[in-house]
Amino acid sequence: MAGLVPPPPTTPMGAKGTEAKVQERVDYLDLPCPIPYEEIQREAFMSLKPELFEGMRFDFTKGLNQKFALSHSVFMGPQEIPSQSSETIKIPTANYEFGANFIDPKLMLVGRILTDGRLNARLKCDLTDSLTLKANAQLTTEPHMSHVMATFDYKGSDYRTQFQVGNGALLGASYIQSVTPHLSLGGEVFWAGQHRKSGVGFATRYNTNKMVATGQVASTGMVALSYVQKVSEKVSLATDFMYNYMSREVASSVGYDYILRQCRLRGKIDSNGCTSAFLEERLNMGLNFILSAEIDHRKKDYKFGFGLTVGE
């Protein structure tokens, strides 16, 4: 009877490898949605361009409820003024800023007003699950210096498109598409009616769990490259390169982003020999200490700042 029982089916030696290849096959109908075109260099920007300042800064934020909060900011320090000489001219200045924030899952309103009369406002509203309205306004008492911009952001399953309109007859549109799970390609067009200028740009972004590489080129003469490498969960290295083939200007920088349990340290050095560092340390819940430094030996320009942030 034992001889009548059929033997169990055998699996060929390469079957497991074939199954692995089938599982690794890319489903091009289920690609991830890319980030907005304007944020294509987000990781490099966060690491290489922190909000450096010179002087003393104090920020206080008080939440009135879960959605509404008020903020107060005081800044004292020198301000650079334009000069035709190579030396940097600074004048002492101080200002106070009052702000109000309203944050809801589908609506965000942020407003800031300064003692010198400047008003900054920002709006983000989810009109639908796929369509978002973003608006920014910078209003000043100086003539022809106020700016207003509105952006409609449509988020598809594997693509993203934006349409922008602003004062000065400014129109712009961008589109970015995921072509593989890690690679996305995009382009943009804009028209500045007040200055009678137009332009076209193209961009690419490749990202994995360990790195992000981007490239951009525009008809205005700008070529921009960036690369961010995640060394570990706490350390990232970043570099960028910018070239303008019309003015023949070149600039590049390399920096680091170190995140510890209680602080975050970012620093960089650029091709002009200017070095900078930015430290944010959490002293306690809702209390952060900030140090900022920027040194340019060639221009003999040295900037140091410290600040305190109270509230979340």
Each as own residue / partner, the long-range contacts of residues 232-239 (CB below 8 Å, 24 or more positions apart, any chain) are 234/258, 234/259, 234/260, 235/259, 236/43, 236/47, 238/43, 238/44, 238/47, 238/48, 238/268, 239/44, 239/48
pLDDT at residue 190, as a whole number: 93
Do strands 119-126 and 287-296 pair parallel, antiparallel, or not at all (unpaired)?
unpaired
pLDDT at residue 87, as a whole number: 72
Q: Which H or E element spans position 268?
A: strand 263-270
pLDDT at residue 12, as a whole number: 54
pLDDT at residue 275, as a whole number: 96
What is d(CA 267, CA 260) in angstroms, rounded to the nearest whole number? 14
What is d(CA 120, CA 147) in angstroms, rounded to the nearest whole number? 10
Location of structure tokens 């340019």: 296
pLDDT at residue 197, as a whole number: 87
Closest-CA residue to 307 (of 119, 97, 82): 97
Q: Residue 254: beta bridge partners? A: 239, 269
Helices assigned H by DSSP within the chain: 15-24, 42-48
pLDDT, tens digit only, all 312 positions of the chain: 444 445 555 555 554 454 444 446 777 778 999 999 999 999 999 999 999 999 999 999 999 999 999 999 999 999 888 777 667 788 889 999 999 999 999 999 999 999 988 999 999 999 999 999 999 999 998 888 899 999 999 999 999 999 999 998 899 999 999 999 999 999 999 998 877 889 999 999 999 999 999 999 999 999 999 999 999 999 999 999 999 998 899 999 999 999 998 999 999 999 999 999 999 999 998 899 999 999 998 888 899 999 999 986
* Token pair belonging to 122: 């920002």
What is d(CA 308, CA 312) in angstroms, rounded to the nearest whole number? 12
* Token pair belonging to 215: 């490239």
User: How open is the CA angle 122-239-228, to the nearest 5 degrees?
Assistant: 75
What is d(CA 200, CA 302) in angstroms, rounded to the nearest whole number? 38
Closest-CA residue to 224 (of 248, 243, 204): 243
Each as own residue / partner, the long-range contacts of residues 286-295 (CB below 8 Å, 24 or more positions apart, any chain) are 286/310, 286/311, 286/312, 290/57, 292/50, 292/52, 292/53, 292/54, 294/52, 294/54
Location of structure tokens 């104090």: 58
Would you say the pTM of this structure is higher than 0.75?
A: yes
Contact 222, 216 (CB under 8 A): yes
